[in-house]
Structure 1
Amino acid sequence: MRPRTPRPATALTLLAAAALAGCTDAPSADPAAGASPADGTVAVRATDDACEVSSTDLGSGITTFAITNEGSDVTEVYVYAPGDRIVTEKENIGPGTSYELTVDLTEGSYQVACKPGMVGDGIRQDVRVAGAAEAPDPAAEAAVAAYRTWVQQQADASVPLVQQLRDAVAAGDVEGAKALYAPSRVPWESIEPVAESFGDLDPRMDAREADLAAGEAFTGWHRLEKALWTGEDLAPLVPVADQLVLDVQELAQRVPNAALTPTSIGNGAKELLDEVATGKITGEEEAFSHTDLVDFEANVAGAAQALEVLRPIVSENDPELVTTLDAEFADVRAALEPYRVPGGFVPYDTVTEEQRRELARAVDGLSEPLSRLGAAAAGEA
């Protein structure tokens, strides 16, 4: 995902002092072991200046990276395919905490990257995956096909919405562009993990000004957001809007090539909820427009869609998890309802701190069971 100012992981931690959702205190395996693990678990020891991986020669199929942050700063761990294509990731791993990240890897070369402070390219370790994966499972293939179709629908829907936003900006229609801004982001927010897997699109399209390193260009939605809500002249922003149209068109063209597995779909659902916790609950995502609750709902809808396509698999592997997730998704949707108004939601700057804490509690209730969806989809429940 895009670089962000380092922060703890769960929504309540971001507002108060709750624990990191999805983490455990169990120690990881010895990262010096070196051999390909028989049980598919690979220890990752992240420190301020190292990223130690217990095995760099893996077999294809399901691998669980057991991550322990022994550094002094928040870190994140990525698994990259060639070309820095993101296979999976975990942000906001606090000092002294652990996290298990399950991924389905096919034969090829990868890199595991630890990013202390959640900045830069990270400390990288090359990993090789050998051998052919097991024969495709029809249920898994059906889930992937259904999810890819849905992602394609969302990506296609974003193109005319962003085009309308661009046309309003070009016409100097401030109020019209403001009305179009949040709706134009809904498809993106619902499929963000897939969109971010392409790496180069996300920084251009969705970086916040606070995320940028010195000298980096400020472009995309949030550049337009700042201009619209701070009264800037829109004429110089037309090229930014033009590029955003090109970027959403490129996104729609690249969806057929996105690497998807049931595990990555399940992990992506958790990433979407992390987006709620780290950006929407805090009000950091839409710092000028305060349309955070629109994004919040889209993130939750995307996570719920992941559950829907995985439901036949997870219902067989872990039926209790499905029951729990259905209840927690319902609680999150109910928590959003008091803030709904015709055409969207109230501005987030009108939501009180106590109300934000109530939203955070609902998000945290969903976070832990959702963190198990990827593993359950892989039959690792």
Structure 2
Amino acid sequence: MKALPVRRGTALAAAALVTLGALSACSADSDSEGDATTPETTGASATTEPAESDSAGGAGQVAVTMVSGSDGDECQLDTDTVAAGPITFNVVNESAAAISEFELLSGAKIVGEKENLAPGLPEVSLTLTLGGGDYTVYCPGAVTEQIPFTVTGEASAAPTGTAAELLQQGATDYASYVTTQVDAMVTAVQRLQEAVDSGDLATAQQAYAESRPFYEKIESDVDGFVLDGFDPTDNHGNLDYLIDMRASNIDPAVGWSGFHAVERDLFKKQKITAKTKKYAADLLTNVQQLATVAGTLEFKPEDLANGAAGLLEEVQANKVTGEEEAFSHIDLVDFAGNVEGAQQAFEALKPGLTEIDADLTQTITDRFADVRALLETYKDPSALGGYKLYTAEVKKTDGQKLADSVQALQDSLSRLAEKVATA
């Protein structure tokens, strides 16, 4: 058994060492081939009468059904109004191939979510304790993606405390978001491995696209872990390299590994070989290792601010340039994941940041909205991952526009870390 140390050269404060099994995926392949409008806000619901609490469990019940309709896939609610308190969302995807995710939003903050909701899987439940107010059910890929959802009764108490206390509470809460994304990634990569093992190329390509966003949402939080016994400069023990190396940053001493090794085989070579299956199996081992250690992470407010800025730097360096997904061209899927992750870090800090600098808080809020609105124009439910392919032509015509939008947001976020660290 080996211990996985905390991170190399990181600003994050992680918990004590975690005991893990040996990492099988250190055997990265030595093959050194280096090819290198806002959504609608109306939706289907059956009633506006507040759902009463279940007498047995004490929680209000909401049924969420994803179905294929004549005009596209739909996310249907049996009620769009519930009474404040514990509420259970029972979610099932009966036939909606374009929908795989359910989120409940309060403003831009994700209050709760369920991922990997493929058609035909058993119903899943999500229980949340909600105060009165206006929420949004968000089903990416549906004809109507956003559905207004009302909770009647007394609103949740506003956060209280000093700015520093509010910021630290946000950082603590954010850790659960990271854990949720890592756990969802493990499930998605399991499906990717199953698809690869089956030899079905089209299914494996779809599973690849569905597995990518999770790491992109949190990569700046988890990209510095080095296995025990390895030098920090040795990519044989660098989990981020083993999970997310790219053609553009290949280390000849280690070779191909992780998501993009699988991507290369599925999209460039257009075939699944024994080596592809090994890549997928090693990837699953690595993300399972990451899930083990991610639950031990502790965050300071400045970690969230730096992480959000880091995700936007990822957009500029690797997504707008088209080098992240060099073979599948689903860079806009990753772009959207980076933006969501950055925004969730910001939303966690927002109550405290408002106390420090309300004007900056509003500016960042507005610029996130601008970037999200621009991304909406690239959505395509029929495409892998739900976004248009980022082809050479799209990069030529739209790359600068995308870069400028992110840069405006990045400029505002660059001031965030110092403000929260000195609160």
Question: TM-score, length-normalised on structure 1?
Answer: 0.64
CA distance in 2, matches of 1:213, 1:247: 18
Distance 1:314 1:175, change over 3 A: same
Instruction: Output aligned runs, 1:81-120, within 5 Å.
Output: 85-88=8-11
CA distance in 2, matches of 1:291, 1:337: 15
Is 1:236 the counterpart of 2:275? The answer is yes
- Off by >3 Å, runs of 4+ in structure 1: 103-106
Residue 160 of structure 1 and its aligned partner are, at CA, apart by 1.0
* Counterpart secondary structure, 2:377: helix
Residue 300 of structure 1 and its aligned partner are, at CA, apart by 0.2
Determine which of 304, 308, 319 is the counterpart of 1:265. 304
Q: Does the 8 Å CA contact 1:272/1:302 hold for their aligned counterparts? A: yes
* Counterpart secondary structure, 2:10: strand
The aligned residue for residue 378 of structure 2 is 339
CA distance in 1, matches of 2:319, 2:297: 26
* Counterpart secondary structure, 1:267: helix
The aligned residue for residue 94 of structure 1 is none
Aligned-partner residue type, residue 275 of structure 1: E
The aligned residue for residue 414 of structure 2 is 371
Distance 1:303 1:337, change over 3 A: same
For structure 2, list consecutive stretches of 5 or more residues without a partner in the other structure.
16-162, 227-237
Residue 170 of structure 1 and its aligned partner are, at CA, apart by 0.8
The aligned residue for residue 282 of structure 1 is 321
The aligned residue for residue 330 of structure 1 is 369
Question: TM-score, length-normalised on structure 2?
Answer: 0.58
The aligned residue for residue 141 of structure 1 is 168
CA distance in 2, matches of 1:153, 1:138: 24
Determine which of 195, 206, 209 is the counterpart of 1:182. 209
Residue 216 of structure 1 and its aligned partner are, at CA, apart by 1.7
Alpha-carbon RMSD across the aligned residues, in angstroms, is 2.3
Is 1:195 the counterpart of 2:222? The answer is yes
CA distance in 1, matches of 2:6, 2:218: 21
The aligned residue for residue 357 of structure 1 is 400
Residue 166 of structure 1 and its aligned partner are, at CA, apart by 0.6
Determine which of 385, 390, 396 is the counterpart of 1:348. 390
Is 1:206 the counterpart of 2:206? The answer is no
* Counterpart secondary structure, 1:215: coil
Q: Does the 8 Å CA contact 2:331/2:390 hold for their aligned counterparts? A: yes
CA distance in 1, matches of 2:188, 2:272: 22
Q: Is the radius of gyration larger for structure 1 or structure 2?
A: 2
CA distance in 2, matches of 1:327, 1:296: 18
The aligned residue for residue 360 of structure 2 is 321
Q: Does the 8 Å CA contact 2:7/2:14 hold for their aligned counterparts? A: no
Residue 165 of structure 1 and its aligned partner are, at CA, apart by 0.5
Q: Does the 8 Å CA contact 2:13/2:297 hold for their aligned counterparts? A: no
Is 1:172 the counterpart of 2:199? The answer is yes
Q: Does the 8 Å CA contact 2:311/2:339 hold for their aligned counterparts? A: yes
CA distance in 1, matches of 2:374, 2:387: 12
How far does the alpha carbon of each residue in 1:11-52 deviate from its partner, in whole angstroms, 9 at most, with x for none? Answer: xxxxxxxxxxxxxxxxxxxxxxxxxxxxxxxxxxxxxxxxxx
How many equivalent residue pairs? 257
Percent of matched pairs sharing the same residue: 38
Q: Does the 8 Å CA contact 2:247/2:260 hold for their aligned counterparts? A: yes
Residue 238 of structure 1 and its aligned partner are, at CA, apart by 1.1
CA distance in 1, matches of 2:271, 2:254: 20
* Counterpart secondary structure, 1:339: coil
Aligned-partner residue type, residue 186 of structure 1: P
* Counterpart secondary structure, 1:85: coil
Determine which of 242, 245, 253 is the counterpart of 2:284. 245
CA distance in 2, matches of 1:298, 1:209: 20
Structure with the largest fraction of helix? 1
* Counterpart secondary structure, 1:300: helix
CA distance in 2, matches of 1:210, 1:283: 11
* Counterpart secondary structure, 1:227: helix
Q: Does the 8 Å CA contact 2:325/2:331 hold for their aligned counterparts? A: yes
